[in-house]
Amino acid sequence: MKPNFHPKNIVQTIEGLTQKGLEVVALAEKGKDWNSVVANFDDFECELGRLTSVNSHLNAVMFNDEFNEQYEKTLPIITNFYSDISSNKALYAAFKNLKNTELNKEQQHILKESIDGFELSGVGLEGEDSKRFKQIKEKLSLLSSQFSKNSLKSTNEWTKAVNLEQLKGYGEAELAKIKTDEGYELNLQVPVYMDVMTYLDNRDLREEVYRAYVSRASELGITSPDYDNKAIMDEILALRYEMANILGFDNYAQLSIEAKMVESTDQVLEFLMSLVQKSKPQAQSELDELTKFSGIDLKPWDLGFYSEQLKEQKFGFKKSELTPYFPESKVLEGLFSTIENLYKVSLKEINEPSYHKDARVLQISKGDELIGKIYLDLYARKDKRGGAWMADYQPLQNHEKPVAFVVCNLNSPTDGKPALFEFDEIVTIFHEFGHALHHVLTKVEYACAAGISGVPWDGVELPSQYMEFFCYERDVVMSMSEHYQTKKMLPDDLYDKLIKSKNFQSAMGMLRQCEFSIWDLKTHSSSEDTYKILNEVRKDTALMSSIAESRFLNTFGHIFSGGYAAGYFSYKWAEVLAADAYYYVQSSGGIGSQASLDFLHHILESGGSRDFMDSYEMFRGKKPSIKALLKANGIAN
């Protein structure tokens, strides 16, 4: 199915669809078997999901105030519809009655998850509690959208005209990203911001850009205080806390954990603190080495700059030396061939209209059979939300093939020169394709359990983190590399240096990710101010003081406008699974081996159709080990 990228009258259409949904629900309430209760409603949800997915996607990648105004009007309609469904006692009873009918194992698992979902969504609530729960969900959908909008607008607002004298340290590639008709202009888009932090000699200018970046969407006024997200964050956290209390949980973290693989917040905190303890001595050594190398009192805006110089000295190459070897077309060619060899499918770009001139359409097939499509949108734009993500549009259902969106914010071609990607950016592309393959390669024909649907949040990141590992294999790197001018492949000595540098400052990175994860869980376990909690967490995790004006939480979209609230630890937990999976596949023959096909069959194809840890153990033969994560990061165990 081809998405309709020119939706009109979206409020009216959503209203009509949700009305149709109520009719479907009325029939399901009276149903006595799988088809009349689950399958028909699943078909309807798929229809509604396609429209909401396109609306959400366009609002994120081609933002304009006119469409956004209509889009935001649809949010309460959708939220209220699902609130009514999740509190529908007759529908809940119809689902429960199916336990006494003949179902296959897939259906039994889906039924159990659906019943649990009803119970976590307030089906047992009565009177004022039920009414208030519904109000909270509606308000949260609007607040999340406003948070995202403020983040985008505050990022776009700050620019600074600069001259060549101020840009010492920049090469041709970095200059091309900020060239304007009048000269050069810095902004806070991620590709430009990262260049400033990594390459710019001018320390004062680095500081200015850093302060502007970490104070976005805050009360400080470096970007407009009109976009201050703090009150929105506080309200989101208070509403989540109240929602959890209404359901009988002490806090939102407990509610969130109910739908994850892990057993309790204590178990997760213990896991994270063990990583902190194992990483901190090595991280301190890494910072000491950097401080000694820089010869100055390091500030946050110095870390990237001196780290890049130290890395260059230690490993004998600059990051910018790699970039010319990774033009966009060659990177995608290597990515496609890696996917083809891993999973015995074919992947190619097709000539089909899309929503934007920069977005291309990819087709995945096996033999003559179409498996699914991916819309790939790689470049940063002013009207596009920052970050990288995958979104699902169409699941495998009723002979319709799966369709996914993959979005990044990378630099685009300039002045006849192709887009050249840094290696970290290539890792990001592999990561998002891992998510897309999870969605597209599914064999489950129930939309509620196809691809990533029905997969616990701490399992969703496994396929994406797993794909990252293949980025570093020699054959894969060589398949992606071709100097955009000389057409030569990446030299062996540069590849060897890249691999040796892979875990440079990995312990510092581990501490940072643990800090986010611990803060996230603790902030959703408490009613204290979230910045106060962050300061407490940093006593265990931070090796350097942050500046008093830092408000980076004010644009932390994963937590306040994404799906990672009290679940950011999922990245680290999934990294354990991914490392364990990769080393197993590597030791069993690697790309194209039976083990890599077992990953396809047991993880990607099975989606949310059975307990995810059961799926992992079917693939691996045993539970994962934290040792694999430490090995992958080069941290002494």
DSSP 523-549: HTS--S-HHHHHHHHHHHH-SSPPPTT
Residue 405: phi and psi, rounded to 5, are: -110, 130
Which H helix or E strand runs over 364?
strand 360-366
How many angstroms separate the CA atoms of 414 and 402, rounded?
33
- Asked if residue 447 lies in contact with residue 306, where contact means CB atoms within 8 angstroms, the answer is no
Is 102 known to be catalytic?
no
Residues in the chain: 637
- Report how far apart, in Å, the C-alpha atoms of 579 and of each of 126, 162, 438 are: 46, 44, 17
Q: In 10 A of CB 493, how many CB atoms? A: 10
> Residue type for 52, please?
T
Which H helix or E strand runs over 375?
strand 369-379
| Residue 278: partners with Cβ closer than 8 Å, 6 or more residues away | 630, 635, 636, 637
- Asked if residue 196 lies in contact with residue 159, where contact means CB atoms within 8 angstroms, the answer is no
User: Which region holds residue 621: left if phi is over 0, alpha if psi is between -120 and 50, else beta?
Assistant: left
How many angstroms separate the CA atoms of 584 and 228, rounded?
47
How many angstroms separate the CA atoms of 450 and 131, rounded?
32
How many angstroms separate the CA atoms of 526 and 169, rounded?
45
- Which neighbouring-strand residues pair with 392? 404
Burial tier of 297 (Cβ tally within 10 Å: 0-12, 13-18, 19+) = exposed
C-alpha torsion sign, points 531, 533, 535, 541: negative
Catalytic residue among 432, 461, 468, 482: 432
How many angstroms separate the CA atoms of 293 and 566, rounded?
38
The SS3 call for residue 378 is strand
Residues marked active site are found at 432
